[in-house]
Amino acid sequence: MKKYIVLTILFVLPLVVYLFFASGINNFAKLPVLTDEVYDISKISNTTFDNKITILGFFGNNVKDKHGDALNLNQKIYKRFYKFKDFQFVMIQPVGTEILTENLKNELRAGTNTDLVNWNFIFATESDLLKVYQSLQTDFNLDSNLGTPFVFIIDRNGNLRGRDDKDGTKFGYDSRSVADINNNMLDDVKVILAEYRMALKKNNIYKDQLK
């Protein structure tokens, strides 16, 4: 009897584990596409969504009031994933906020010892900024300062990704809320990066970009 138990453990259990993980891979949960083809930022800057996983944000004219939001995102998301070669933050700022934005960047560098290599700040006219934001087709608007606390996940094809389930549609993540970042955004970024890595591996161009 003991012999059969041992044989079961040695041969059957590994097979069950394999089938479990194989099933998990084949039925890998992907973030749904909520909006196709967000406005191409390469039309207004030297930055692109193409073949990048992007966290997109709009801090607006009152950048000085967004330092807490930026620190939340930096600590919980950026510092964890920025070494992934094709991961980036893109913040689209109104023209005229260059000095305020530079102050924010200096605080991020000094206060958190952060390498900002993948923090990208684009300065756009109000018209161009609105083109990008409106193309997201979300259920909330920019404030009077052309800003929002919400940030968005854009996939490598320039599509907006998020949640669409029994709890409703989630277009973006509130950078003011550590709970929203920890409980929702962090998981969703992991999913989109895992999906991207699987695509690279499938096409035989996978590299261990992030340990």
DSSP 103-153: HHHHHHHHHH----TTEEEEEE-HHHHHHHHHHH--SS---TTS-EEEEEE
User: What is the token pair recorded at 121?
Assistant: 């700040």
* CB-based contact 181:77 (threshold 8 Å): yes
* 17 inside domain: no
Q: Report the CATH number that the domain containing residue 36 is assigned in CATH.
A: 3.40.30.10
> Which structural domain, as residue segments, surrounds residue 169?
30-202
* 45 inside domain: yes
* 86 inside domain: yes
Number of domains composing the chain:
1
* 43 inside domain: yes
* 9 inside domain: no
* 108 inside domain: yes
* 6 inside domain: no
pLDDT tens across the length of the chain (211 residues): 655 555 455 554 454 443 333 333 333 468 999 999 999 999 999 999 999 999 999 999 999 999 999 999 999 999 999 999 899 999 999 999 999 999 999 999 887 788 899 999 999 999 999 999 999 999 999 999 999 999 999 999 999 999 998 889 999 999 999 999 999 999 999 999 999 888 777 666 544 444 4
Enumerate long-range contacts of 123-129, CB under 8 Å, 24 or more apart.
123/93, 123/94, 123/95, 123/97, 123/98, 124/44, 124/45, 124/92, 124/93, 124/94, 124/95, 125/94, 125/95, 126/94, 128/44, 129/58, 129/92, 129/93, 129/94
